[in-house]
C-alpha cells in the first residue's frame, strides 16, 4: 500500500510520515544500533562495578590475603564482562539479521507482484 502520488510530493516529511503509519519502512535497524550502544554502556557500568568490588576486597583486608582474594574477583569479573559483550553483540546481530531478512522478503514480494501483473500490450489500432 503506497501513498497516493499527490501526498508523496507534498514535502520531504510526507513520505516518512506515511511510511511510519503503514510500516512500509521499518525503523528497527536504526533503533537497534542505539539499543546496542546503550547495552554496552550498561555492560561498562558492570565492568566498573567489578573492578570496584575487587579494589574494595583488597582494601578491606589489611593483609596480603585481601590482594590475593581480589585478583580472582577481578579476573572472574572481567571474564563475565567479556562474555556479556559477546552475548549482547550476538543478540543485536540476530535482530538486525531478522529485520534485514524481512526487508529482503518485502523486496522479493514486490518483485513477484511486478512480474505477476500483466504487461499492457498495445492492441491493433482502432479506426
**If you average pLDDT over every residue of the chain, what do you get?**
81
pLDDT band at 26 (very low <50, low <70, confident <90, very high): low
- The predicted pLDDT at position 24 comes to 67
Q: Higher pLDDT residue, 112 or 126? A: 112
Cell numbers placing 44: 561498562
**pLDDT at site 107:** 83
Specify the pTM. 0.64
Q: What is the pLDDT of residues 32-80, one digit of tens each?
A: 889 999 999 999 999 999 999 888 888 888 788 888 888 888 999 999 9
Question: In whole angstroms, how far apart are CA 23 and each of 17, 20, 28, 90?
Answer: 10, 5, 11, 26
DSSP 31-73: HHHHHHHHHHHHHHHHHHHHHHHHHHHHHHSSSHHHHHHHHHH
**For residue range 67-122, what is the model confidence (pLDDT) as tens digits?**
888 888 899 999 999 999 999 999 999 988 888 887 788 888 888 888 888 665 56
Amino acid at each position: 500500500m503506497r501513498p497516493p502520488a499527490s501526498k508523496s510530493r507534498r514535502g520531504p516529511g510526507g513520505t516518512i510520515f506515511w511510511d511510519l503509519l503503514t510500516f512500509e519502512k521499518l525503523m528497527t535497524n536504526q533503533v537497534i544500533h542505539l539499543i546496542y550502544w546503550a547495552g554496552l554502556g550498561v555492560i561498562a557500568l558492570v565492568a566498573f562495578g567489578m573492578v570496584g568490588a575487587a579494589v574494595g576486597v583488597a582494601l578491606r583486608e589489611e593483609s596480603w590475603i585481601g590482594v590475593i582474594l581480589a585478583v580472582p574477583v577481578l579476573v572472574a569479573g572481567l571474564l563475565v564482562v567479556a562474555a556479556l559483550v559477546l552475548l549482547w553483540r550476538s543478540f543485536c546481530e540476530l535482530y538486525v539479521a531478522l529485520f534485514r531478512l524481512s526487508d529482503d522478503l518485502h523486496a522479493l514480494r514486490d518483485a513477484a507482484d511486478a512480474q505477476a501483473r500483466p504487461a499492457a500490450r498495445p492492441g491493433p489500432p482502432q479506426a
